[in-house]
Amino acid sequence: MGITARGVGLLVAAVVLLGVGFRFAYPELTLLGAAAGAAVGYAALTAAWRPRLVVARRADPDRVARGEPASMTLTVRNAGRLRSANLLAEDRCGDRTVPVPLLRLRPGRDTEVRYDVPTHRRGVVLVGPLRVTRRDPLGLVALARPYGASTPVWVHPRVHPLTAVPTGAGRSLDGRVDGVPHGSITFDSLREYVVGDELRRVHWRTSARVGELMVRENVDTSLPRLVVLLDNRAAAHPQRVGGVAESFESACEAAASIVTAAHRADLPVLLVLVAPGPATRVERGHGDRDDGEVDDGQPLGPLDRLAAAELSGDDDALRAATTRLRQDRLGDTLIFLTGPGGRGELGHVGALRGAYPSVVVGVFGAAEPTPPGAAGLVVVDAADGAQFAAEWDGVRRW
């Protein structure tokens, strides 16, 4: 409960009037002081009344790409039975507040407010709780209470379409034809018999139909397993524009594009953050968790993790991350996405070539191109996510 400046002045006047009235036996001053004190007491009782409000909110949608429209529908219902509610209310939406009119909200009735959620920045926009302020008619006391829980709106990075798919290094019956050695796993086509072909590869039914010996041509296939390593160290993204590291935002867009392309191609992909601590921490008004899960116990998806990713001050996290990747061997294609500050540590990533046959590095926001063949890696220099997508599709050697 907070007393306003007017209430403080009236309370001080009540004390002074009562003191002077009793001290010098002035009943008029005593009566005025008592009336002032009674007014402050009535104001406190009026503001202390807690209305019974039921708050429900619905995000439409609750997950969007950066720049796409999203809205929040807030429904406030007066669950009381006796009194109408005349309140001042505002809803928290990220860093701003939205006024919610609650004038003469009758018992059993509800009011609905719909407003846009800002999506111009990647991140998790927390909406709520509703803050209701109760004031007395004289404006002497004001009491603010929260109602309802916070609802997150996940603003994912922009996704740029990718058409190229990295080649894998391991054979798979359900994979695709690429640069692995040819062998005898998956049927590809029929061709005429040449001297030296094995007779067990002759397709006798087709040979009888065409009158010539035809043999089966088989190829090996592979299923690439992608590992996307996102460098979220503040030292790797030193440049700021309006407090925002644009190179990190571009790296997040590139990671989202790779993950989305892999899912569409039914390829296994794993997103790894160099410093995972702050990236999986999502602040909530109720039921806070710090384990990379939402309140219903379900783990965050890759795009949700990218929406919540933040820069970390742990400059030594890359060494620990590469050590874990070398020990675990999570895939066969490693994509490392970093900023201009991470080019000096590409040697740590290059040391993973023994565990990951294909290593691709994306460098964002660098003033000068990365030297070709740095640490024996395939390096893609890009100013933003869109340019990275174009350069990615032009890579001929993985």
Report H helices in the chain. Answer: 5-24, 27-48, 204-210, 246-264, 276-279, 302-308, 317-328, 346-350, 385-393
pLDDT per residue over 271-307, tens digit each?
999 997 644 444 333 333 333 444 444 567 899 999 9
Cβ–Cβ < 8 Å for 220, 187: no
Most confident of 41-45, 174-178, 236-240, 343-347: 236-240
Percentage of the chain beyond pLDDT 90 is 39
- Alpha-carbon distance of 20 to 373, in angstroms, equals 90
CB atoms within 10 A of CB 138: 15
Q: What is the pLDDT of residue 373?
A: 62
Q: pTM score, two decimals?
A: 0.76
The DSSP symbol for 341 reads: G
Does 175 or 106 have the greater pLDDT score?
106
Q: Which of 333, 339, 337, 371 is nearest to 352 (CA)?
A: 333
The answer to whether 239 touches 245, Cβ cutoff 8 Å, is yes
Q: Is pLDDT above 80 for 67?
A: yes
- Rounded to the nearest 10 degrees, the angle between the axes of helix 5-24 and helix 27-48 is 150
pLDDT digits (tens, 9 = 90+) for 156-202: 999 999 987 665 555 444 444 444 444 445 556 788 888 888 888 88
pLDDT band, residue 393 (cuts 50/70/90): confident
* Mean pLDDT value across residues 148-158: 93
Tell me whether the omega of the peptide bond preceding residue 238 falls within 30 degrees of 0, making it cis.
Answer: no
Residue 57 sits at φ, ψ, to 5 deg, of -135, 150
pLDDT (mean) for 207-220: 81
Asked if 161 contacts 257 with a C-beta cutoff of 8 angstroms, the reply is yes
The model's confidence at residue 374, banded by pLDDT at 50, 70 and 90, is low
CA pseudo-torsion sign 84, 96, 290, 256:
positive
Say what the alpha-carbon torsion angle 244, 249, 251, 257 is, to the nearest 10 degrees: 180
Evaluate the omega torsion of the peptide bond into residue 69 and state whether it is cis, within 30 degrees of 0.
Answer: no
Average pLDDT of the chain, as a whole number? 83
Pairwise pLDDT comparison (137 vs 269), residue with the higher score? 269
